[in-house]
């Protein structure tokens, strides 16, 4: 069964450093998403991406964040200058169409020291 994959599973970084989180969405899906979940809190929407551009973003997704689909399979989230409060689980998701079911990856646990 096709699934969303994410790498790395864990990332530890120093405050102020740049990190890139990687995702491979399900192959026939057209819509891609990033969410985050701070420990003990709700899953929060960050950004959606379709046709090589951002279609929606939340207030959390400020100038330190960017997304890219560098090739036909990968979808990346870059955090330019990490802050302590960026520590969270980051989930990638994909769907065939808008308003369709989003399938989530296993997540990347990011710890900023």
Partner 1 sequence: EDQVTQSPEALRLQEGESSSLNCSYTVSGLRGLFWYRQDPGKGPEFLFTLYSAGEEKEKERLKATLTKKESFLHITAPKPEDSATYLCAVYQDGSARQLTFGSGTQLTVLP
Which parts of this chain interact with partner 1 (CB under 8 A)?
4, 6, 31, 33, 35, 41-45, 48, 50, 55-56, 58, 89, 91, 98-107, 109
H/E stretch holding 102 reads: none
CA atoms 99, 54, 41, 6: torsion sign: positive
Nearer to partner 1, 28 or 42 (CB): 42
Nearer to partner 1, 14 or 101 (CB): 101
Please report how close the Cβ of residue 100 comes to partner 1 at its closest, in angstroms: 8
Nearer to partner 1, 61 or 79 (CB): 61
């Amino acid at each position: 069964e096709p699934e969303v994959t994410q790498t790395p599973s864990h990332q530890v970084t120093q405050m102020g450093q740049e990190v890139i989180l990687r995702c491979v969405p399900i192959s026939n899906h057209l819509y891609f998403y990033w969410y985050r979940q701070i420990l003990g809190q709700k899953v929060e929407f960050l950004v959606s991406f379709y046709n090589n551009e951002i279609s929606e973003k939340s207030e959390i997704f400020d100038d330190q964040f960017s997304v890219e689909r560098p090739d036909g399979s990968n979808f990346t989230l870059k955090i330019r200058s990490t802050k302590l409060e960026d520590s969270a689980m980051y989930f990638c998701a994909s769907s065939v169409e808008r308003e369709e079911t989003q399938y989530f990856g296993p997540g990347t646990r990011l710890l900023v020291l």
